[in-house]
Amino acid sequence: MDSKKKWIAATVAIVLVTNVCTYFGSGVINSLLSRNTGTLTASQYGQAQKWQKLFYVKEQLDEYYDGEIDEDAMLEGAIKGMTESLGDPYTVYFNEEEYADFNTQTEGNYSGVGLQVKADGDNIVVVGIFDESPAKNAGILPNDVIEKVDDTSVSGSELEKAVSLMKGAEGTTVRLTLYRESKGEFEVTLTRAQISIKTISGEMIDSEVGLIEVTMFDNNTAQNFRNMLEELKGKGMKSLIIDLRGNPGGLLNECVSMASNFIEENQVVVSTVDKYENTKKYRSEGGAAIGMPLVILTDEGSASASEIFAGAIRDYKLGTLVGATTFGKGVVQTILEAGDGTALKVTVSKYYTPNGENINKTGIKPDVEVEYPESLLTEEYDRSKDPQFTKALEIAKSKIQ
C-alpha cells in the first residue's frame, strides 16, 4: 500500500459548498438546488440532485421512525453501503475499531484466531494457519470456507468484516461455521489468543541450499528478510528457495524492497496504472544477492505482493517458479484516512509485471507445476512428504555451479 493520505469527502459534491453534512435535511438540499446561484457547477448540481434522496430518507426517518436512532451507526452504514455496492472485496470503509485492527496486522501482532484468509468469488477461504494458534489447534485447514462468524453470515464481499469479527480480546471465544469438501459443514469454537506474526523464517537445508519462508509482507518483512539472507549467506548458502505459498500479500513497498535484493538497481520491479492512465514505476534499490540462484515456491494462496515478487523474478529470468498457479490479485489498494480514527481502503490501480502483464484473476503459472496432494492437508506438515518442496530442492541443487 502507498503512503497514507487524508480522505477529502467529495463524493457528495454539495458538501463542498455548505454545512449540509450537519443538517441532513432534504429541505436544505432542495433550498440549495432551487436557488443555484453559480456556486455549484453543472456537474455538482447534477450530483446534488442525484444524492438528495439520501438526505430525504434521513429526514423522513427522523420525523417518522418510532424508535431510537443512532446517527453514528446510520452514517457508518450509509458509507459502508457505498463501498459494498462496488462489489470489490478490497475496497472497504474502516470504522475506528476496524482500522486499529487493520494496523495491528500490518505491524505484526494482534489478538485473534491465527487465520489468513482471502476472498474467492462469494466465499471467504482459508489460505494459511499460523503455527501454535487457536485455528491450528482446532484442525482448520487451507481451503476451508468460512460461512459464519458466530451467528453472522459472511461472504467474499465482506472479507474485512469477517476478519474484524474473528479478532477480539484475548481469552474471549468465537464460533466459526466452516465448509470442507471432504467433510461438509462443521463448527469450531476458538478461544482468541495473542498472535505474533513471524513473517520471515529461514534455515540451511544442507551445506549449500538455504530456505526462507515469507508468510506475508508487513512493516518489518523486507528488513527481516535481508537479515535472514545475510545470515544464510554467512553459513555458506549458494542457492536459495523462497517459499511464498499461502502468502496473501501485504505492503507493496516491502515487497519491492525485498525483490531488490535480487534485481539490478533501477530496474522496474512493478508498475501501477490508475484510472487516469497515470503510471508509477517502482524500481529496484539494488541488493547484495544479485546473481543468487533462486527457486520460488507458489500456490493458489500466493496473492498480491507475493505475485509481484514472483512475477519480477520470472520476467527477469532470475529464478524458477515451482508449485501451483497463484491466486491472481493484480490490483493495488491505498489507505485514505477519513478522520476520527477511520479510513477508506480503496482499489486505486492495477499493477503490471516488468514485462507488462496484469495477472488479475488469472495468476502466475509456475515454470514447473507440482500438485500438492489434498490428502496431505489433513496431516501434520512433513517436509519430506512435500512434493513441491522436493522438486524445488532438486532444482536449487542443480543451479549450484
- Among 273, 264, 314, which Cα is nearest to 294's? 314
- How far is 334 from 327, CA to CA, in rounded Å? 20
Active-site residue, selected from the candidate residues 304, 345, 349, 391: 304
Q: Which residue is it, cell 469438501?
A: 181
SS3 of residue 368 by DSSP: strand
Amino acid letter, residue 371:
E
**Considering 315, 345, 386, 391, which one is annotated as catalytic?**
315
Whether 365 is a known active-site residue: answer no
- Cα–Cα distance, 179 to 2 (Å, whole number): 35
Whether the CB-CB separation of 44 and 16 falls below 8 Å is answered with: yes
Active site residue 150: no
Q: How many CB atoms lie within 10 A of CB 318?
A: 19
What's the rounded Cα separation, in Å, for the pair 180 and 377?
A: 12
Q: Which of 118, 329, 345, 391 is catalytic?
A: 329
Helix 159-166 × helix 96-107 angle, to 10°: 80
Query: Are 196 and 108 within 8 A, CB to CB?
Result: yes
Q: How does DSSP classify residue 298?
A: E
Catalytic annotation present for 367: no
Contacts of 211 (CB under 8 A, 6+ apart): 202, 203, 204, 205, 240, 241, 242, 243
CA distance 230 to 237: 9
Cell of 5: 493520505
Question: What are the catalytic residues?
Answer: 304, 315, 329
